[in-house]
Amino acid sequence: MGEWTTTSYGVGNGNKIDILAEIKFPHSLGLLYSAFTYYTGFKVNSGEYKVMGLAPYGKPVYKDLILKELIDLKEDGSFKLNMKYFDYCAGLRMTNSRFHKLFGTPPRKPESRVTQREMDLARSIQEVTEEVMLRITRHVHKVTGQKNLCLAGGVALNCVGNGRILREGPFKNIWIQPASGDAGGALGAAYFAWHQYLEKPRAANEKTDSMRGSFLGPEFSATEIEAFLVKHAIPFTRLKDEKLPETIADLIAQEKVIGWFQGAMEFGPRALGGRSILGDSRSPKMQEQMNLKIKFRESFRPFAPSITAEKVSKYFEMTTESPYMLLVAPVQKKWRREMTETEKKLEGVELLNVKRSEIPAVTHVDYSARVQTITEIQNPRFYRLLKKFYERHGCPVVINTSFNVRGEPIVCTPEDAYRCFMRTHMDYLILGNFLLAKAEQRPLEKDSAWMKEFELD
């Protein structure tokens, strides 16, 4: 719901885009998903990722009820919501008493225990959302005959749905705006004014996009970083360019958690190798450890793998590049570990501790992963790290999660990065070429108030 239109499609040609059809507020797929985000006890407009991550733990037991009562879905993907169950038009809540009666209970209290019921609700709304996305894209292909699909908007951050469109849909190529949602809407408005209103020419080479890997944010020079470190008497070691990849690769292989601060900051909600926390994807304990001790967030939330683009099809069932971490793909069967009969009987978060593959820290309970591919052109330093990790340790995959703790923005400045590093259980921080070891740092003054500075997501 960036404006009154909630869903639309059109065709771009040259420097013009023509909108062919649209659905208007209050009928919104994103707001339907957000209603379940609210109902399952998470924060609207930030907790939707949690619902998507929770879905594989559940069963779609409420799917038919949603399709029968909440959404009137047509074969072409057009839909209407039954507004008697929603309160977002006139009230301050997403859902109302009719919604709660339909599903049997009031909304889950935030921060209370997540039960199998929430997991089943998450799985149900996720499957409904994927069905709507697939129906719409099939209809769009049928009407337009185009081979390339571009996606934007908040629902385009649903990388599980995106992965299904890529695998099952009729389009040859799909591209997803990395800052989908309100942030990217600003870019879209600027481009629309520039090209369509002012009639400025637009060039496209059909190979690379103009997002530059989404590294559009602030960047800090070696001089600026060193000045910060010296000013605060922070111990560090300066690494030469050629030494940096192997040093960090070896630390990751030792199951050390690394704060990675390089180049320009990412634009959008994903850490893409500019402001990232890195870990060893092969470690069975790393997912829970990084969630609870580094990110201070729920243990069920999956981590994403970063991998060199040329190796992606070796580890995942995908052949396309995924530079913006917006496609989910299954882990290749040869890397999977079959579950025992006892393990198959487990439910919910009990599944979290079952090793699923040779890269368990990035393999979700359904054998899927939210993949980011890295090329040397897009991010040379991160690419060289991954390549060196493969050369020295036989694996081109590392955990890549955003450099922040739960509820906080992603770090921007060297000072932000140092503060986050010191407040968590990260082992090392690499700021450009400057390596900081936690064991060599003076502890920060004890101050638990920082954890209340930002509202939890």
- CATH number of the domain that residue 61 is part of: 3.30.420.40
pLDDT tier for residue 85 given thresholds of 50, 70 and 90: very high
More confident residue, 82 or 300: 82
- Give yes or no: residues 234 and 289 share one domain: yes
pLDDT tier for residue 206 given thresholds of 50, 70 and 90: confident
**Residue 65 within a domain:** yes
**Is the predicted pLDDT of residue 91 greater than 90, yes or no?**
no
Q: What is the DSSP letter of 424?
A: S
- Domain at 234, CATH number: 3.90.870.20
- Give yes or no: residues 345 and 244 share one domain: yes
Mean pLDDT for 19-34 is 96
More confident residue, 356 or 382: 382
- Give yes or no: residues 397 and 253 share one domain: yes
**Residue 457 within a domain:** no
pLDDT of residue 3: 83
Say what percent of the chain tops pLDDT 70: 96
- Give yes or no: residues 271 and 325 share one domain: yes
**Is the predicted pLDDT of residue 125 greater than 60, yes or no?**
yes
Burial (0-12, 13-18, 19+ Cβ within 10 Å), 217: middle
**Residue 286 within a domain:** yes
- Give yes or no: residues 308 and 199 share one domain: no
Write out the residue range of the structural domain in which residue 277 sits: 214-452
Which range has the worst mean pLDDT, 166-180, 234-248, 357-371, 440-454?
A: 440-454
**Residue 44 within a domain:** yes
Which of 151, 177, 210 delimits the end of a domain? 210
E strands, 273-390, are 275-280, 304-308, 327-330, 368-374
**Is the predicted pLDDT of residue 269 greater than 80, yes or no?**
yes
pLDDT of residue 64: 98
Q: Shortest CA distance to 135 belongs to which of 82, 173, 78? A: 78
- Give yes or no: residues 152 and 222 share one domain: no
- Give yes or no: residues 175 and 219 share one domain: no
- Give yes or no: residues 202 and 237 share one domain: no
pTM for the whole thing?
A: 0.90
pLDDT of residue 388: 98
- Give yes or no: residues 191 and 115 share one domain: yes
How many other C-beta atoms are found inside a 10 Å radius of the C-beta of residue 346?
Answer: 15
- DSSP secondary structure string, 376-422? TTT-HHHHHHHHHHHHHHS--EEEEEESS-TTSPPP-SHHHHHHHHH
- Give yes or no: residues 262 and 204 share one domain: no
Look at the chain and report how many structural domains it folds into.
2
Q: Map tokens 């997501």 to a residue.
A: 457
pLDDT of residue 298: 67
**Residue 41 within a domain:** yes
pLDDT of residue 395: 96
Which of 210, 232, 254 delimits the end of a domain? 210
- Give yes or no: residues 228 and 206 share one domain: no
**Residue 229 within a domain:** yes
- Give yes or no: residues 171 and 238 share one domain: no
Contact present, 428 and 260 (Cβ < 8 Å): no
**Residue 63 within a domain:** yes
**Is the predicted pLDDT of residue 365 greater than 70, yes or no?**
yes
pLDDT of residue 346: 77
**What ranges in 204-316 are assigned the alpha helix state H?**
222-231, 244-253, 286-289, 312-315
Which of 163, 187, 210 delimits the end of a domain? 210
Contact present, 304 and 368 (Cβ < 8 Å): no
Q: Mean pLDDT over all residues of the chain? A: 92
pLDDT tier for residue 446 given thresholds of 50, 70 and 90: low
Task: In whole angstroms, give the CA distance from residue 69 to residue 57.
Answer: 24
Cis peptide before 26 (omega within 30 of 0): yes
Contact present, 246 and 388 (Cβ < 8 Å): yes
**Residue 395 within a domain:** yes
Characterize the bridge pairing of strands 79-81 and 148-151. Answer: unpaired
pLDDT tier for residue 69 given thresholds of 50, 70 and 90: very high
